[in-house]
Chains A and B, each alone.
Chain A
Amino acid sequence: METGLAQLRFAASMLFGRPLSAWALDRLVDAALETRHEFGAIGPAAAEFLSGPPLDEDARREMQLRRFRAQAAMAAQETPYYAGLFEKTGLDPHRLRFEEIARIPVTPKAAMRNTPDAFVRRSARPAFRTMTTGTTGRPTSTYFSAHEMQTTALLSALTFLQEGQIGPDDIVQISTSSRATLGNACFSQACQRIGAAWYLAGLVQPSQALALLAEEHHLPGKKPRTSFLNTYPSYLGELVECGLAAGYRPADFGLTRISVGGEVVTAGLKARAQQLFGPVVFIEGFGMTEIWPLGATRCAAGHLHWEPTQGLIEVLNPEASGPAQPGQAGTLVATPFGPYREASVVLRYNTEDVVAPLAGPLTCRWRDWPATSDIRGKLRLSIRHDRGWTYPRDVLEALEAVEAVPLPARGGFWAVSGGVAVEAVVRAVTPAVHREIEAALEGQGVPLRELHLVEDRRQLQQPLPLRCDLREDSFATPAPSTAPDVGGAGRLPTERS
């Protein structure tokens, strides 16, 4: 009965944009936990309840326009940045038509980076300032209210439970930068609410992180080893490289799921990670501090799907005004909607990430949601050359598929006459490796004109930035008892059993 009331309250937020009720979400998390305990899993009908019934194109546009107007009106009335902007454009946010959304100037990253306070609503109660890790430039700040943080964590908990990704018996290792406060706070609170045990390992030496993953636990009601890892692709690459070199095997770990994001995730990385950790399930998607909690879920077909109630997604042609056509790469522009977003408002935010709209109709699981291709990389890390564009994904997919390239792939690329020059770190520079990498790059459609292979990363000229380099140092050295058996040393005999 209480669950029924909570469902009604949640539905009211979804339908009418009323603020999310922490009580209702909390009760729904309890209901999800009870359902999981009683029935072993939560059925697919719960997903529909959380995201609403599928909408046809017209109904979705109507719903998104209504929400965009509400968000735009709030922005114009309550934030200095958008008050000025709407005054300049002369647009009335209350009467916007769908076609007119494109007339609102895109909000550049620099605006939010330089004046984060200008995006905070006058009536808001900002309680938490989060900053991006600044991998791709100076950090950008965004403000959130305490209520927003609480409801976002509860919504995350509901999603994890509904998708069967995290349960009360899981032990979760967070191997992300300790400065990634927004993601870490919401994720850890969600784990805690579910009843999973979590710990923030941070971006420590890979050997330390591996020792933590291999550690045996004797916690009541929990799995015997860490079962869920949340990390960046580049750091996962470091773990894989270090783990395989140290002689770890899948039997040394209890991981069942790895949530990986924040950078380009390649097929090569996932395949090589499974050599170390066994047949783990990868959870991928897209999330970004500035547009949080609007994010995307990656389906099995490799599309990014954006829940339409959470925000509006546009893909803009970077070389011409207007939207990119299906199959044509463009930059992702996102508007997170209320009631998910309260304290700071952002309209048409230029994420600088490159994706491509998809040609429908789709047949995958979330086919009713707007979809794009997977992220191809940041626009400013992509290059325009005589033959078109080359994106970080094109290069990274090729490099990480080659065993001779240590993980994470370290390299760079730039335009040269007639195509692209690529540089990469390899284990050993040999003609065979050269040929293999050339073939892999060409297989990814990279018009390769020069290939520079080096054995030392310091020799790279224009390396792509990697989050794993946000290293957090520690005085500790890996515990010998949990290191794998390499050459007969480093493992206690009893651990074999």
Chain B
Amino acid sequence: MLAATIIILGCALAAVLLSWLYFRRYAIVRPPLGVFNFSDVAMMLGSIILIPYLDLALPLWVVAGLLVVGGLSTLYFTWEPILPPVWPRWLATLVLVGLDLVAWQWLGKSSPWWYAINNVFVVLCAVGITNLWAQAGMKARDAAILAGALAVYDLVFTSLLPLMGDLYTRLAMLPLAPMVAWPIGSEGQWYAIGLGDLLLAAAFPLVMRKAFGRSAGLAAMLIGLIAIGALLVSPLLGLYIEIFPAMVVLGPLMVLQYAYWRRRCGTERTTWQYLQAEPGRQSA
């Protein structure tokens, strides 16, 4: 259990730190027109409600196919600014997705090798997705609204309803599973944090930095990691819960942070203002 906790915490730390470094260093290729705005947040919330039901209703091979397509496209755009030539980008993308599929098929879904490869895959996806949101102009306000809404959602669908438990049990059987996990105890048991929780934890520092400056970003990063750490180590302290809705903790913390920095700094900065104040590779 300790090893699993350390590995998952390490992966969460890697996702948050790599997203931060990527945000400062690389300009993701964003759509030429349009900004990530409140209607996108609303659409995202609608999808978050709908997609778990689809994942449970669709045949496993369809869900697996969707995960492969989603994984390939996410990794491809994540590598795009790092590996500008097309063929190394495709190579890096296909190798990782291929390794995940091969490990899942031949080593089995309980193999630590498959978990290790899949964790790398999920961390890289988190880096790409969070940067796509933040670099597409996601506002701290919208991230806070999303986090607040997800806290309510998580409370209902994870704690009160069996939806999330069923969903994770099903997705854990598939390659490219959207979770950072590690096997524990007897055959088939694992300890994990979902990609959704990681995304919020990694994206919020980015949008806070853009909106209110480096201190707000670092504070968001630290608070998020401490909260995730506390949730992950709680079973070691005897506070064992089969499935815990992480956003119930992360969401209110993000809303409070936004309220604090909004009150302290006033209107949040646009991407242009952020890059004027803190020039980095992104402006190149």
Q: Which residues of A contact B (CB under 8 A)?
A: 1-4, 7, 28, 31-32, 34-35, 37-43, 45-46, 48-49
Contact of B40 among A1, A40, A42 (CB under 8 A): A1
Knowing A1-B40, A2-B39, the reply to whether A43 touches B271 (Cβ < 8 A) is: no
Please judge, given known A-B contacts A1-B39, A39-B272, A40-B272, whether A28 and B137 are in contact too, CB under 8 Å.
no
Q: Give 16 pairs: A residue, B residue, CB < 8 Å, sorted on A.
A: A1-B39, A1-B40, A2-B39, A3-B33, A28-B33, A31-B33, A32-B33, A34-B35, A34-B137, A35-B34, A35-B137, A39-B137, A39-B270, A39-B271, A46-B33, A49-B33
* A49 and B32 contacting across the interface, CB-CB below 8 Å: yes
A42 touches B32 (CB 8 A): yes
Contact call B271/A38, Cβ cutoff below 8 A: yes
A49 to B34 CA separation, bound complex (whole angstroms): 12
In the complex the two chains form, is B43's CB within 8 Å of A1's CB?
yes
Q: How far is the CB of B73 from chain A (nearest CB, A)?
A: 15
With beta carbons under 8 angstroms apart, the residue of B32, B137, B272 that contacts A46 is: B32
Contact A34 B32 (CB under 8 A): no
Q: How far is the CA of A38 from the CA of B33 in the complex (A)?
A: 11
Q: Which 4 A-B pairs have the closest CB atoms?
A: A40-B272, A3-B34, A45-B32, A46-B32
Question: A41 CA to B31 CA in the complex, in Å?
Answer: 13
Q: State in angstroms the CA–CA spacing of A39 and B276 once bound together.
A: 10
Contacting residues, chain B, for A31 (C-beta < 8 A): 33-35
Q: Which residues from A are CB-within-8-Å of B35?
A: 31, 34-35, 37-39
Q: Does B37 contact A (CB under 8 A)?
A: yes
Summed over the interface, the residue pairs from A and B with CB atoms below 8 Å come to a total of 50
- In the complex, the chain A residue whose C-beta lies closest to that of B33 is A31
Please tell me if the beta carbons of B34 and A34 are within 8 angstroms of each other in the complex. Answer: yes
A455 vs chain B, min Cβ distance (A): 54
CA distance A376 to B35 in the complex (A): 43
Residue of B nearest to A49 (CB): B32
| Most chain A beta-carbon neighbours within 10 Å: one of B35, B40, B271, B275 | B35
Minimal Cβ-Cβ distance residue in B for A30: B34
Say yes or no: A38 contacts B32, CB within 8 Å: no
Please measure, in the bound complex, the distance between the C-alpha atom of A375 and the C-alpha atom of B40, giving whole angstroms: 47
Determine the distance from Cα of A49 to Cα of B32 in the docked complex, in whole angstroms: 8
Selected contact of B31 from candidates A2, A3, A37, CB within 8 Å: A3
B40 to A38, Cβ gap below 8 A?
A: no
Complex: how many Å from CA A48 to CA B271? 23
Residues 23-40 of B, flagged 1 when their CB comes within 8 A of A and 0 if not, give: 000000001111101011
Complex Cα distance, B33 from A3, in Å, reads 8
Least distance between B48 CB and chain A CB atoms (Å): 14
Nearest to A48 among chain B residues (CB) is B32
**Inside 8 A of A35's CB, which chain B residues have their CB?**
32-35, 137
Nearest chain B CB to A203 CB, angstrom units? 37
Residues of A within 8 A of B34 (CB): 3-4, 31, 34-35
Question: How far is the CB of A33 from the nearest CB of chain B, in Å?
Answer: 10
Known: A1-B43, A39-B137. A7 touches B272 (CB 8 A): no
Residues of chain B lying within 8 A (CB to CB) of residue A40: 270-272, 275
- Interfacial residues of chain B within 10-52, with CB under 8 A of chain A in the complex: 31-35, 37, 39-40, 43
Shortest Cβ gap from B72 to chain A (Å): 20
CB-CB < 8 A to A1: which residues of B?
A: 39-40, 43
List of A residues within 8 angstroms of B31 by Cβ:
3-4
Are B39 and A38 in touch, CB under 8 angstroms?
no
Q: Which residues of A contact B271 (CB under 8 A)?
A: 38-40
Of residues 258 through 284 on chain B, the ones whose CB sits less than 8 Å from some CB of chain A are 270-272, 275
Distance (Å) between the CB of A115 and the closest chain B CB?
42
Shortest C-beta distance, A371 to chain B (Å), equals: 24
Which B residue's beta carbon lies closest to that of A161? B33
B43 touching A38, Cβ below 8 Å: no
13 A-B pairs besides A1-B39, A1-B40, A39-B270 with CB distance below 8 A are A2-B39, A4-B31, A34-B37, A34-B137, A38-B270, A38-B272, A39-B35, A39-B272, A40-B272, A42-B32, A45-B32, A48-B32, A49-B33
A-contact bits for B224-267, CB 8 A (1 contact / 0 none): 00000000000000000000000000000000000000000000
B102 vs chain A, min Cβ distance (A): 34
Inter-chain contacts of B137 with A (CB < 8 A): 34-35, 38-39
Within the assembled complex, what's the spacing in Å between the Cα atoms of A233 and B79? Answer: 50
B230 nearest CB across to chain A (Å)? 35
Task: Give Cα A2–Cα B272 distance, bound, in whole angstroms.
Answer: 23
* CA distance in complex: A38, B31 (Å): 13
The answer to whether A7 touches B33, judged by C-beta atoms less than 8 angstroms apart, is yes
B272 cross-chain contacts in A, Cβ below 8 A? 38-41
Listed residue (A1, A41, A46) with the most chain B CB atoms within 10 angstroms of its CB: A1
In whole Å, how far is A51's beta carbon from the nearest beta carbon of chain B?
12
Give, as a whole number of angstroms, the nearest-CB distance from B150 to chain A.
18
Residue of A nearest to B272 (CB): A40
**Interface readout for B133-172 with A: 1 if CB under 8 Å, 0 if not?**
0000100000000000000000000000000000000000
The closest CB in chain B to the CB of A43 belongs to B32
Q: How far is the CA of A2 from the CA of B34 in the complex (A)?
A: 9
* CB nearest to A45 among chain B residues: B32
A468–B269 alpha-carbon span in the complex (Å): 46
Q: Which residue of A is nearest B137, CB measured?
A: A38
Q: Which residues does chain A contribute within 8 Å of B40, judged by CB atoms?
A: 1
Q: In the complex, A41→B275 CA distance in Å?
A: 13
For residue B269, which residue of chain A has the nearest CB?
A: A38
Considering the complex, give the chain A residue whose CB is closest to the CB of B40.
Answer: A1
Q: Judging by beta carbons under 8 Å apart, are A37 and B270 in contact?
A: yes
Closest chain B residue to A41, Cβ basis = B272
CB neighbours of B43 from chain A (8 A): 1
Chain A contacts for B39, CB-based, 8 A:
1-2
